Structure 1
Amino acid sequence: MNNRGIGDWIHRRRIKSAGRVAVISAAGELTYDAWADRIDRLADALARRGVRQGDRVAYLGENHPSFLEALFAVGSLGAVFVPLNTRLAPPEIAFALNDSGSTVLLASVTMEPLAVSGSRGTGVGLLALVQDGTPVPAERQEGDLPALAYEELMLSGEPVRPDVAVDLEDLAIILYTSGTTGKPKGAMLTHGNLTWNSFNVITDFDIMSDSVALMIAPMFHVASLGMGVLPTLLKGGTLVLEPRFEPGRVLELIERHRATFISGVPTTYQLLAEHPNWESADISSLRQLTCGGSAVPLRVLEAYEKKGLSFTNGYGMTETSPGATTLPARYSRAKQGSAGLPQFHTFVRIVDPMGEVCAPGEVGEIQVQGPNVIKAYWNRPEATVDSFVVAEDGSWLKTGDMGYQDEEGFVFISDRLKDMIISGGENIYPAQVEQEISQLDGVAAVAVIGVPDEKWGEVPRAVIVVRDGHELTEEQVIGHLNGKLARYKIPKSVVFTEEMPRTASGKIRKPDLRKKFG
């Protein structure tokens, strides 16, 4: 047996950290040794039900220990974990399940309707429901789909460590990103990608064995998983899992558990600072605040500085597992607005349209290289080719983001080559939204742009040209999208115009739209 992947991490902690609390949640506390037994049981139960090396197992649910039990159990079998965004609509869930070829779906009982409807017509042959206080009947049928309680499934296995060889180059996770062409892409994260990203975080963020990480962002996002969960467990620290973000409760949990680490987006920290309990809350245990998605606004920065805290900002993407750059807390003022320096084991360069490395201060495309960078997309060879460039010093990921480095190597994001919108930390690609809106009979042309929003940073706005002889309202457009797209992707406003600004080749000029309607 020679498991070099992340699936063996908790087993290796079984003795090293025996008796130490690994995870705290509404379900209680689990020590590393007790948790390792549960993970081994789940792996054995899945193997008894036919899960083999390379098979895909999906998970749909909020932050819960079972999410990580599934991740590590699946990894110990050499199978592939497919976490699903709980905010997706049934057709989006179905696409991910079909595209990945998942055969098992583990889901929170609160997600049961979405899990059942999203599984129809897919290759999923077993649904296991995770419950916390909500009883789940013994094995039953959901239509043609066998369903049972997650605990029943897990306890049907023996606490036996799987005898499977797993290498760092083997696939660990398929994470679906919003697609620029309307179809999500499955980023293929290997055990090595996730391990090296954890090394980066431990090195740059000073994660310690006594770290207590309060995870308030969903683990189906790579930022939460890669920048908080996995590095903390690798070091033998403790996770506190919250199923959803509630500012008042977060402040309470920081104090109760003496949390040392939280991670979020600017909106997260703004809502905490605006809560009535902010001034009286004891958050003196915090040592590390990490923020991604965009730079921390000055007013938020100042609110935390008054409590003696500063931020570690950063930049990355699913394809980098997710870290690419980190702005150390000591530079949060001096380099405000910067995405920071390349992470310790990662390389970043800025190139011009000819592929030449830009001089300091010169804007170009940001490209990333390192052992934390994926090599391919699942079932998308054309996307893989388009997303990488091979140079004399190896392959570089083309991020599609524009920026520059200053004389000291700090990276600044200046614009997006792609049209991606980041709303409250969620990535939205307009093409997918435009594709759905264009199905309306009255739409002659549509473009979706991002507009500033005080709470979410930016939100989508649809700009529409109505066909002659037709009428269309904002309510009709938004109503058409309900149930087809995740709610965060649905435009918060719709404006109508008589014509779209276009290039000579007929492409819509979105910069002109942003200037007029943004």
Structure 2
Amino acid sequence: MTASSASSALPTPLSKPWLASYEAGVPHDFTPSGRTLFQLLEDTANRFPQRTALHFLGQNTSYKELVKRVKRFARALQRSGVKPGDRVAIMLPNCPQFVVSFYGTLLAGGVVANTSPLYTPSELEHQLIDSGSETLVILDSMYPRYAEIADRVPVKRVFVTRIQDELPFPKNLLYPIKAMREGTLASDSFKRDPKAVPLRFVLKLQDADPVPVTVGADDVALLQYTGGTTGVPKGAMLTQRNLVANAEQSRAWMVGLQEGREITLAAIPFFHVYGMTTAMNMSVLIGATIVLVPNARDIKMVLGEISRTRATLLPGVPTLYNAINNHPDTAAHDLTTIRACISGSAPLMQETARAFREITHGANLVEGYGLTESSPVTHVNPITGEQKDGSIGLPLPGVDALVMDDAGQPVPTGEVGELWVAGPMVMKGYWNMPEETAKVLREYAGKTWLLTGDMATMDEQGFFRIVDRKKELIIAGGHNIYPREVEEALTAHPAVLEAAAVGVPDAYRGESVHAVVALKPGMQATEKEIIAHCRQLLSPYKAPRSVEFRDELPKTAVGKTLRRQLAAEARERLEKEKADKSA
């Protein structure tokens, strides 16, 4: 290619070849409404007051009632001392209490700190301290994990809730009996904590008249914790504008949606920003009924809720669709009402998409892409238009995207570079980490760009494809796993001298964690012992599923462990073992 021809193929921030590939009805221009998240909810409640907003295991809550409960929780927060800007950690699965706590916190002027129900006590401790959360909303079964670290964190007040608090009669009475028989009945030890109060009493006794608080579109609404190449968890500061804009962008992409008539099966967790945007906020925006599934791994429940509620939308991750495809009960359920699904958080295998479309008789399952730092969706394949296998699709309306070289200049169309994105959904920065913020936010051509760390290409039609991850992330079942965090747990074992964590192919999860360790001289450990040790320190999905022992790990001249080499070698060994078995 000559210099002149290469130059002519260079994209610019003003050229948007993807617009010509948009399906009919998708707007080419986008301006966010500037509403706050509570205004989003209130506007929908005014349009569809009697529409069922939440369906939870047989219990329905209308939009009118939801707004009333949100106001009650906001008032309760204010009376307990929560001030505008204070962080409120929410550690709940998908249930009505999550939705009420989320919007109620924002109405009171607080900032939500999304907290994974899978966190170990040490992970919870770090986030509560880093976020400075003085308020915690938590499920009773998770309270013991908090109790372990309660005297080391800044929490001043705890709202405790139970699954049965939101169940209809007689399920609310039968649930504890069922849990007792299964050995899963939660302890009531929280009743001895002077800082803890039952959330159900608060919502029942509180008036729905919170003190008005001025909340602007550029105020931080959410601290969504992510990791990075260093493995240090970082709180992405997502503003009201970021989250509302991304819900509006996602809605603009899905041109066939019917306001006030859709039913979203919300199995993807709301504590994950992808679930929050596509299953919760976008559903609220269009007046959809949100069918809450507290445990996405309970595929039998997922199938039952789809067929019982006649769900039409199913945002999720590849693991969910793959599990549905392969569950023995799938054939006994009618899944044909599902019309559209956006798969995110991990690469979608084409066989998974093909099988799911066949099972549902044509549901449009398409792959999308995003990052925590972009609220998160930036790219999606056309819902009904042309799609390209292996592509993450086209930038959403209002999203600018470039593929850049290491010098910060656009590369020719079709060549590999780092994906940069800009738009109203890009975060404000990392919480109390200006140096980390400066590494990923950059000014260019009059816009603020987010450097994704992912290596990509863009073709002439504007379709993007991720070819490699600059960050050495491991993505298992839609969860981002950062090698450094796993390595910290590995090296905490008394027998481990050094360790590396890499991702290896996994037919079910997409990837799984493989550990490579070198033991201290004279020390011994087994694979089983190493895995058990990690499970004490990490959430189950982060713990290694296989361990390889070496005398030493390969390193660069400056002593940096060659993770990519270890990953390549592990994959080669797995392929050889697979080939030997089939021979």
The two structures have a TM-score, normalised by structure 1, of: 0.95
Q: 1:389 to 1:178 in 2, by over 3 A?
A: same
Say yes or no: does 1:501 pair with 2:554. Answer: yes
Greater relative contact order (Cα < 8 A, sep 6+):
2
State the shift of 1:118 in Å: 4.1
Residue 388 of structure 2 is aligned to residue 360 of structure 1 = no
Corresponding residue of 2:372: 318
Secondary structure, aligned partner of 2:537: coil
2:344 matched to 1:292? yes
* Per-residue deviation, residues 140-172 of structure 1 (Å, max 9, x unmatched): 432xx5112111122332111441111100010
- Output aligned runs, 1:346-495, within 5 Å: 346-495=399-548
Q: Partner of 1:483: helix, strand, or coil?
A: helix
Q: Does 1:241 align with 2:272?
A: no
Q: Distance in 2 between matches of 1:512 and 1:137?
A: 50
Counterpart of 1:12 in structure 2 is 43
Letter in 1 for 2:420: Q
CA RMSD of aligned residues (A): 1.9
More helix by share: 2
State the SS of the aligned residue for 2:330.
Answer: coil
Q: Are 2:220 and 1:189 equivalent residues in the alignment?
A: no
Partner of 1:121: 152
SS at match of 2:251: helix
Q: Is the 8 A contact 1:93 1:119 kept in 2?
A: no
2:367 partner SS = strand
Shift of 1:446: 1.0
Q: For the structure 1 residues 139 and 427, does the alpha-carbon distance in structure 2 shift closer, same or farther, using more than 3 Å as the test?
A: closer
2: distance between equivalents of 1:11 and 1:232? 13
Distance 1:27 1:249 in 2: 12
Whether the 8 Å contact between 1:215 and 1:229 is mirrored in structure 2 is: yes
SS for the counterpart of 2:102 is: helix
Cα distance in 2 between the residues matched to 1:490 and 1:331:
40
Counterpart residue number, 2:264 = 213
Letter in 1 for 2:435: E
Work out whether 1:516 is the aligned partner of 2:569.
yes
Stretches of structure 2 that go unaligned for 5 or more consecutive residues are 1-33, 165-171, 177-185, 572-583
Tell me, yes or no, if the aligned pair for 1:260 and 1:286 is still in contact at 8 Å: yes
Question: What is the rounded CA distance, in whole Å, between the counterparts of 1:156 and 1:97 in structure 2?
Answer: 28
Q: Does 1:341 align with 2:394?
A: yes
Q: Deviations over 1:105-133 (max 9, x none)?
A: 11111212123224331111111111114
Which residues of structure 1 form unaligned runs of 5+? none
Whole-Å Cα distance in 2 between the matches of residues 474 and 397 of structure 1?
A: 40
Kept in 2, the 8 Å contact 1:137–1:148? The answer is: no
Supply the distance in 1 between the matched residues of 2:557 and 2:246 (Cα, whole angstroms): 44
Aligned residues: 513
Contact kept, 8 Å, 1:81 with 1:172, in 2: the verdict is yes
The yes-or-no answer on 1:38 pairing with 2:69 is: yes
AA aligned opposite 1:311: L
**One-letter amino acid of the structure 1 residue matched with residue 94 of structure 2:** N
- Bigger drift between 289-298 and 158-167 goes to 289-298
8 Å CA contact retained: 1:138, 1:148: no
Instruction: Pick closer, same or farther for the CA change 1:292–1:169 going to 2, 3 Å.
Output: same
Counterparts in 2 of 1:234-313, with a 5 A limit?
234-245=285-296, 246-306=298-358, 307-313=361-367
Give the letter for the 1:256 counterpart: R
Instruction: Report the more deviating stretch, 226-235 or 20-29.
Output: 20-29
Partner letter of residue 318 of structure 1? Answer: T
Partner residue of 1:55 out of 86, 92, 104:
86
Task: Report the equivalent of 1:158.
Answer: 207
More displaced 10-residue stretch of structure 1: 351-360 or 131-140: 131-140
Q: Tell whether the 8 Å contact from 2:268 to 2:279 is kept in structure 1 after alignment.
A: no
Poorly superposed stretches of 4+, deviation over 3 Å:
133-141, 329-332
Which of 259, 283, 307 in structure 2 is aligned with 1:232? 283
Q: Do the aligned residues in 1 keep the contact of 2:477 with 2:509 (CA within 8 Å)?
A: yes
Q: CA deviation at 1:136?
A: 9.0
Task: Give, in angstroms, the shift of residue 27 of structure 1.
Answer: 6.7
Structure 2 vs 1, CA of residues 139 and 43 (structure 1 numbering), >3 Å: closer, same or farther?
A: farther
CA distance in 1, matches of 2:137, 2:95: 12
Q: Is the 8 A contact 1:348 1:368 kept in 2?
A: yes
Aligned twin of 1:178: 227
After superposition, give the CA deviation of every residue in 1:163-187 in whole Å (9 maximum; x if it has no partner): 1111100010111113432321001
**1:371-394 superposed Cα distances (whole Å, 9 cap, x missing partner):** 001021111111101112221322
Q: Quick one: distance in 2 between partners of 1:515 and 1:152?
A: 55
Please state how far the C-alpha of 1:45 moved relative to its aligned partner.
1.0
